[in-house]
Structure 1
Amino acid sequence: MKQPSGYQIIRRHLRRYPRTLRHTLIKELSQLITYEPVIGIMGKTGAGKSSLCNALFRSEVCAVNAVEACTREPQRVRLRFGQHYLTLVDLPGVGENLQRDTEYRELYREQLPKLDMVLWVLKADDRAFSVEETFYQFIQARCGNTMPPVLWVLNQVDKVEPSEQWNQHTAMPSPGQLEHIKRKQQAVASQLGIQEDAVIPVSVKGRYHLAHIVEQMINRLPKQVRSPLLPHLHQSYHSAPVRETARSSFGDAVVDTLDYVIDSAPLPLLVRQALQAVTHTVAHVARSVWSFFFD
């Protein structure tokens, strides 16, 4: 006998709600399930933005800015996996053309509030990040509460001295390298005025620490974005903690959606309270059928 789909199971439990609300509830929950995350990728040419995306996501991301490093427009790449979509927005690198940096500031001010998260890629062997510091302070001041979460990816740590000690077989830094990487991580955090754990040292080439980026993305993204992102990530990053965080967050997002619809409806107080009492039951059901949608 054919098993009911996740949608069918949720619809059964929505029968408790007035008919006038069901259509709105189903529509809102469908939008939650099919939400298309929008992730911004920032960083100078050569920092490894495309290789990072290819290492994280199932779909191949074409190289961007390979010919002309100073493209003025953000390049959008839409990825599909099954019924789920993901948009990557590659923003032009700052500090590569001082003449254009002023117009880039306006571009960032306009684009960043539309993103769910920014992966800002830095080269670990760069000596200073004063340009990034200036731009980050500017966009923080301009965007305010609309600023999306930013993860700073300190890439190419295999090049950190003494680089000849990088273990190619295990893709791990030597103790000496690890000490220098830690110092670099602390220096970047101090210069940018951010928490140290927001700076993630990785080596895309050496496949080092990539799972930690995924963990931080799932933890820092808005809760309604976490599950829709998961299908696009390589299966090797679908650890039990990552899956559980995404699944739990989906249930929380369902609660928020149901509460919003109920609060927006012109219902008597007793009816509203009765519906709110069963909200968590529906959220529990949504968590139980999570794999139907995102696994």
Structure 2
Amino acid sequence: MLSQSFGKIVQSAIVLLIVSGASFSLLKLAPGDPVVLMLGAEFSQESYDTLQHELGLDQPVLVQYLNWLGDFVTGDWGTSYVARADIFSFVVKEALPVTLTLTACSIVLAIGVGVPLGVLSAVKRDSIWDAGVAVFALTGTAFPSFFLGIVLIWFLAVQVGAFPVMGFVAPWDDFWSGMYHMALPALTLSTYFIGMIVRVTRASLVEVLDQPYIVAARARGEPGWRVVWVHGVRNIAMPVVTMIGLQLGGILQGAVLTETVFSLPGIGQMLTDAVLGREYTLVQAGVMLTAMLFILVNLLVDLSYPLLDPRLRAR
């Protein structure tokens, strides 16, 4: 168990190193000169050369990458020349908590709605309930998050007035107000994943309910809810957890659009502003943090398999 965990951690570190090198190289090919953007409209060639040397941009790309990697590992992520703030503090202390709050609320909502609907669809298969849930799941996966967000803002916030149009309140400062402001963004981001969880849950549970141990549990006279939720749902945890882990990248991608639509000061909004402002150092930090989150979640999913299925535990 420990050797497998260590091996997965090493693999994750290698993947993260590859991502850092690839993203750093691609950003170097992006248009725009950060030195020109920092100096403004008028500057002398001497000022340009001096600032370029101070930033280390006159060195070979490989040397720049190694210097950046060493600074990044030690927590020195540079300074934003637009916000005039330390990038590490800006990204980790300000933007990351917002994105994690949105992601956590979306995942909880997706699981809380998707799993019961998937179970209902599997138990009532080939019925009107099954057809209705299937239509709901397909509809949810068909809407892009940015379009759904605009529709929800227009209907629930503007027309009905049930939710605020935009803005963010930290739940750790005011929990209920924070959840109130996070309701529409979380619903927007989770709708697609509710449909995915419904489909995976239904497909897995339909197969499980035909297994001999389910027939045996029913023959013993166990209640229907126990047969489904204890013997059935417990055995579909692995595919559902795997799907959630694999779809985290989609959740983070959707968070970029969702945060932009609802003006949430998270990583997605930060990356959008950084790209428009040609702050490639800030973009690199955001890409690396997103990659680390994605790799960490997938690592936790891999490590959770022996806990979900005793047959995978080393004997």
Given the two structures, how large is their TM-score scaled by the length of structure 2? 0.33
Answer with 1 or 2: which has the greater Rg.
Answer: 2
Higher relative contact order structure (alpha carbons within 8 Å, sequence separation ≥ 6):
2
Larger helix percent: 2
TM-score with structure 1 setting the length:
0.35
